[in-house]
Amino acid sequence: MRIGLCDDNQVQLNYIQTLIFSWMNLKNIQCHISTYISAEEFIFEHPDTYPFDLLILDIQMGNMNGMELAKNIRATDANIMIIFLTGLEEYVYEGYEVGALRYLLKPINEQQLMVLLDESLHKVKRNIHKWYIFTYNGNTMKLNHNDIVYIEARGHYVDLVTTGNHYEIKRNISQLFKDLGESDFFCCHRSYIVNLNHVEKINKSDCVLSTGVSIPVSRGNYSGLNKAFIHYYRRKSL
């Protein structure tokens, strides 16, 4: 598991890192941990992509706080798990905007952190083997299911739209839906498949995705999409 820590308090940063090392020894696993002393340093190191499974962010930092950093990340990445550290409960409600996994109130409780690390590891293991293999421009490629935002049918082709790219391949959309073989996706329209992990809002005519794109929802699929969306997030919370 790849973990990023961002806190402008070096003492606390070292303490959290020590707790994570203890958890790693307890679980007998290896993790890659990167530390950052400010949100600005994090963005300088990772201006476009974020190679992490989990980020632990202090909310109250200097010029750019942890909440602003999280919003910046969510603009292009809906999948990274985020845990906030804060000394003030008032920030808890704001975290719903960026899909925070949990909050940890200071002073950090070791047992609570261990439980959240267990939960994060469980989610990573559940998603690690979900890949779609396809041929594009003569090359065999793979896409993590989490990176697929939606799929659009275009005649005899489909457009696989990801968080940072798109790939037009020759495939029937119905067959592609079967190929994915997961409950992470839903065919909301005869020409569209959406990744439920990227759905932000649903109404009777369309749904809004994490990238801000609106996808049409057919009248007959509205109820099914709603049910699939609710079931998906209930399952994710387990």
- Residue 79: the pLDDT is 74
- Residue 106: the pLDDT is 86
Average pLDDT over residues 160-174: 92
**What dihedral angle (degrees, nearest 10) is formed by the CA atoms of 99, 105, 106, 111?**
-100
pLDDT(175) > 70:
yes
Q: How confident is the model over 63-104, as pLDDT tens digits?
A: 888 989 998 888 777 778 999 998 776 655 555 567 777 888
Greatest mean pLDDT among 2-6, 92-96, 97-101, 124-128: 2-6
Residue 1 tokens read as: 């598991």
Average pLDDT over residues 124-133: 75
Kindly provide the residue ranges of all beta strands, DSSP E only, lying in 71-183, ordered along the sequence: 81-86, 102-105, 131-136, 139-144, 148-154, 157-162, 166-170
Instruction: Give, in words, the CATH class of 2-127.
Output: alpha beta
Average pLDDT over residues 145-149: 89
- Residue 145: the pLDDT is 87
Choose which CATH entry (2.60.40.2140, 3.40.50.300, 2.40.50.1020, 3.40.50.970) describes domain 131-236.
2.40.50.1020
Query: First and final CA of the chain: distance in angstroms?
Result: 19
Q: Taking the CB of residue 78, how many other CB atoms lie within 10 A of it?
A: 21
Residue 65 tokens read as: 């706080």
- Residue 150: the pLDDT is 97
DSSP 218: -
pLDDT(237) > 70:
no
pLDDT confidence tier of residue 167, bands split at 50, 70 and 90: very high
What is the residue extent of each domain of the chain? Answer: 2-127, 131-236
Greatest mean pLDDT among 6-20, 81-95, 121-135: 6-20
